[in-house]
């Protein structure tokens, strides 16, 4: 400034220096200051504790994360359109939304959508369906051992014979799941019949199966087989030998003594 000059004389250079910064720059500086302040407070108290000023930042409050879980990204400022994904620790499964979006409402405010909070639940194993068995308890926790007993006449068999136990895994499946086994379906040789269902694949100990031949054939061997305690039939299946010009009846029956069930089926050929 020159000596004797009036500072209010309207010098263009001085007038420009006295002008305030444009509004857009003021807003950017203000927003940057708020972001810096938020980070400073977050370092002191944690992001979940800082809940004010997010609308001015055009950001959503920290959504937190479920117990026994975590979120990605784990920290930061969640501006509009930010997406957060939720995950659970090993041994837990997620119930609820797996991700959320920071979304603007009609009134200009921001919030997470969907609003439902996810939770991490410990993995459970449902009681397995084991044929010819009774399974106790409807659900099991990870690491629990299956409690099971076979129906009378059936014996429990595990895939791993050195580890006679089935354990609930952390993914909800069963390890080394057993079966309850009886005698396997016997072989039926040509020209012979037994009256068992095509769906019967296993028979309890004590079951007795009777064999008969087609008309014109004669039975050679044992007429009936019994399922023994070692889950093997008492004898080999009989054969039916051809007998020329002879008619006979087919007489089939199966007896399950422990089930008190007796069936009989007769067919006559002329």
**DSSP state letters, 239-253:** EEEE-TT---EEEEE
pLDDT of residue 33: 55
Asked whether the predicted pLDDT for residue 187 surpasses 90, the reply is no
Asked if 207 and 214 count as a contact pair (C-beta separation under 8 A), the reply is no
> Using 50, 70 and 90 to split pLDDT, how confident is the model at 42?
low
pLDDT of residue 60: 93
Between CA 258 and CA 58 the distance in angstroms is 76
Sign of CA dihedral 211, 223, 234, 242: negative
Least confident range from 36-45, 99-108, 221-230: namely 36-45
Between CA 175 and CA 159 the distance in angstroms is 10
From the number of C-beta atoms within 10 Å of its C-beta (0-12, 13-18, 19+), residue 154 rates as: buried
pLDDT of residue 122: 78
Between CA 42 and CA 72 the distance in angstroms is 17
For the chain, give the mean pLDDT: 78
Q: pLDDT higher for 215 or 199?
A: 215
For the residues 182-203, what does the mean pLDDT come to?
Answer: 85
Between CA 245 and CA 226 the distance in angstroms is 32
Asked if 148 and 136 count as a contact pair (C-beta separation under 8 A), the reply is yes
Tokens matching residue 196: 């068992």
1-33 confidence digits (pLDDT tens)? 444 445 555 555 555 555 555 555 454 455 555
For the residues 55-69, what does the mean pLDDT come to?
Answer: 85
Between CA 37 and CA 55 the distance in angstroms is 14
Residues in Cβ contact with 132 at an 8 Å cutoff, skipping those fewer than 6 apart:
150, 151, 154, 180, 182, 202, 204
81-125 confidence digits (pLDDT tens)? 999 999 999 878 899 999 999 999 888 889 999 999 999 987 788
Asked whether the predicted pLDDT for residue 247 surpasses 80, the reply is no
């Amino acid at each position: 400034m020159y000596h004797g000059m009036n500072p209010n004389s309207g010098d263009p250079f001085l007038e420009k220096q006295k002008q305030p910064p444009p509004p857009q720059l003021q807003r950017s500086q203000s927003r940057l200051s708020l972001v810096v302040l938020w980070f400073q407070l977050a370092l002191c108290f944690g992001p979940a504790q800082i809940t004010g000023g997010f609308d001015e930042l055009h950001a959503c409050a920290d959504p937190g994360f479920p117990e026994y879980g975590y979120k990605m990204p784990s920290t930061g400022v969640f501006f509009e359109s930010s997406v957060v994904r939720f995950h659970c620790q090993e041994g837990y499964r997620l119930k609820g939304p797996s991700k959320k979006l920071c979304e603007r409402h009609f009134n200009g405010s921001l919030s997470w959508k969907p609003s439902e909070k996810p939770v991490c639940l410990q993995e459970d194993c449902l009681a397995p369906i084991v044929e010819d068995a009774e399974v106790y308890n409807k659900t099991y926790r990870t690491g629990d051992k299956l409690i099971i007993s076979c129906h009378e006449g059936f014996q429990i068999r595990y895939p791993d014979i050195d580890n006679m136990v089935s354990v609930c895994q952390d993914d909800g499946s069963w390890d080394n799941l057993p079966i309850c086994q009886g005698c396997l379906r016997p072989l039926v040789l040509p020209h012979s019949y037994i009256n068992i269902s095509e769906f019967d694949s296993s028979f309890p100990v004590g079951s007795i199966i009777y064999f008969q031949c087609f008309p014109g054939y004669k039975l050679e061997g044992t007429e009936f087989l019994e399922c023994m305690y070692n889950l093997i039939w008492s004898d080999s299946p009989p054969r039916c030998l051809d007998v020329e010009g002879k008619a006979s009846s087919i007489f089939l029956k199966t007896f399950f003594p422990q089930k008190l069930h007796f069936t009989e089926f007769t067919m006559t050929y002329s």
